[in-house]
């Protein structure tokens, strides 16, 4: 199969295979995602949904096959992985809290350690996020002192931070790996509203979720 030049295609996947040892997770996937399209990847746990998403930004290197992002073969050895990831933002499914860090430190950890955001900027933005979820007064509290619902709201603040950071990079494509799995039903609505807003910006989106029903 040969890629046909189509400027309306954001992601083109040809014969994608991914194995972990003898375990074959992805077998010959061929598909495309058009620019501005919102695609849901649905299936039960263990079916390879997250692996598929991680292959799109090379967090997992395909065993074989080709992936083109805006016409560029990212599976080529000559591809610039860091540049590719700047154009492809990803939001992961797990937002575990560090028990030895305060609520504020939990929210600022990723931006300061991964994105190298200045601590004063990260703290200010984290406090704004905590205010939005009603936890500004718990900034200096450790997770063990929070109720289950409060822990959920910290997870929501962390999720909002990740989405905001990803968008700050102005990606052309956003990948969501079960973004609401760590949240209770009351908080899912807020995340879905954010994602609904993103669809209006023209960003191409692929969203992994559990099989419904």
For residue 3, the model assigns a pLDDT of 46
Four-CA torsion 29, 181, 203, 165, nearest 10 degrees:
-120
Distance CA 34, CA 50 (A): 20
For residue 94, the model assigns a pLDDT of 62
Q: How far is CA 97 from CA 37, 125, 142, in A?
A: 33, 18, 9
Q: Which two tokens stand for residue 75?
A: 């599976």
Burial class (CB in 10 A: 0-12, 13-18, 19+), 180: buried
Extract the residue ranges of the chain whose pLDDT is less than 70. 1-6, 93-96, 114, 165, 168-169, 182, 210-213
Q: Which two tokens stand for residue 209?
A: 């979720």
For residue 157, the model assigns a pLDDT of 81
Q: Which two tokens stand for residue 189?
A: 């609505």
User: Pairing state of beta strands 88-91 and 173-177?
Assistant: parallel
For residue 192, the model assigns a pLDDT of 84
Q: Which two tokens stand for residue 38?
A: 């919102």
Give pLDDT tens digits for 173-189: 999 988 887 677 777 88
Sheet of 23-34, strand order: 23-34, 9-20, 64-69, 72-73
Q: Does residue 209 contact residue 40 with C-beta atoms inside 8 Å? A: yes
Give pLDDT tens digits for 192-205: 887 888 888 889 99
For residue 114, the model assigns a pLDDT of 67
Q: Which two tokens stand for residue 142?
A: 């450790």
Distance CA 26, CA 11 (A): 17
pTM value is 0.74
């Amino acid at each position: 199969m040969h890629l046909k030049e189509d400027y309306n295609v954001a992601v083109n996947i040809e014969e994608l295979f991914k194995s972990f040892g003898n375990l074959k997770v992805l077998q010959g996937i061929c598909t495309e995602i058009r620019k501005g399209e919102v695609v849901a990847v649905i299936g039960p746990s263990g079916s390879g949904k997250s692996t598929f998403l991680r292959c799109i930004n090379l967090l997992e290197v395909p065993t074989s096959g080709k992936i083109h992002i805006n016409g560029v073969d990212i599976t080529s050895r000559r591809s610039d992985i860091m540049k590719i990831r700047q154009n492809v933002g990803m939001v992961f499914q797990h937002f575990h809290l560090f028990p030895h860090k305060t609520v504020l430190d939990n929210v600022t950890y990723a931006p300061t350690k991964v994105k190298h955001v200045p601590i004063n900027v990260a703290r200010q933005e984290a406090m704004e996020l905590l205010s939005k979820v009603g936890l500004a007064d718990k900034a200096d509290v450790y997770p063990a002192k929070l109720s289950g619902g409060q822990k959920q709201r910290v997870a929501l603040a962390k999720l909002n931070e990740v989405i905001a950071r990803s968008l700050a990079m102005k990606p052309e494509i956003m990948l969501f790996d079960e973004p609401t799995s760590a949240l209770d039903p009351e908080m899912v609505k807020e995340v879905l509203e954010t994602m609904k807003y993103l669809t209006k910006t023209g960003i191409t989106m692929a969203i992994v979720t559990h099989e419904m029903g």
